[in-house]
Amino acid sequence: MIGLLQRVRRAHVEVAGEVVGRIGHGLLLLVCAEPADGEAQAAKLVDKVLKLRIFGDDAGKMNRSVQDVGGALLVVSQFTLAADTRGGNRPSFSAAAPPAQGQALFDAVLRLARERHPAVEAGRFGADMQVHLVNDGPVTIPLRVQ
């Protein structure tokens, strides 16, 4: 499973002009499932995101997790994270899970995140979304769990 994590001051996602998820200080997590992924990978990704120490402590050192700082989490599906750009000028997305599997795993990530963290919002799987964010730092971290 592939993730792209961004520490944000605020973020929201819109579908057809309607805000479907909004957070203040916290993390924006873009998620892409791959064909070999299952619930175990979803759980590992959620655990990593919630425990990753990428927020500053009193000395300004990255030493606190989103849970430690009481931040929120905005989860957005993003199959394009699996893009293969090695050949030609048109990316291939064949490394992404098929839509039904992708949705099931996105739903699993969302369910697990909501079970483990009190402030979780989400985009809408498969929708044409506009994601708005103010990246804090900026801090952007790629994640891959197997």
Q: One of 55, 79, 106, 125 is an active-site residue; which one?
A: 79
Active site residue 80: yes
Q: Which residue, 86, 123, 91, 118, is CA-closest to 106?
A: 123
Report the number of distinct structural domains present in the chain. Answer: 1
2-15 and 72-77 as β-strands: parallel, antiparallel, unpaired? unpaired
Q: pTM for the full model?
A: 0.96
- For range 61-81, the mean pLDDT: 98
The CATH number for 117's domain is 3.50.80.10
Within-domain flag for 146: no
Amino acid at 144: R
Within-domain flag for 11: yes
Measured between alpha carbons, how far is residue 109 from residues 17, 22, 34, 53, 85 in Å? Answer: 25, 17, 13, 19, 27
Q: One of 80, 101, 125, 146 is an active-site residue; which one?
A: 80
pLDDT (tens digit, 9 = 90+) per residue, 87-134?
999 999 999 999 999 999 999 999 999 999 999 999 999 999 999 999
pLDDT (tens digit, 9 = 90+) per residue, 4-56?
999 999 999 999 999 999 999 999 999 999 999 999 999 999 999 999 999 99
Active site residue 146: no
Active site residue 79: yes
Domain that holds residue 59: 2-84+92-141
Q: One of 41, 78, 106, 125 is an active-site residue; which one?
A: 78
What CA–CA distance (Å, rounded) separates 52 from 47?
8
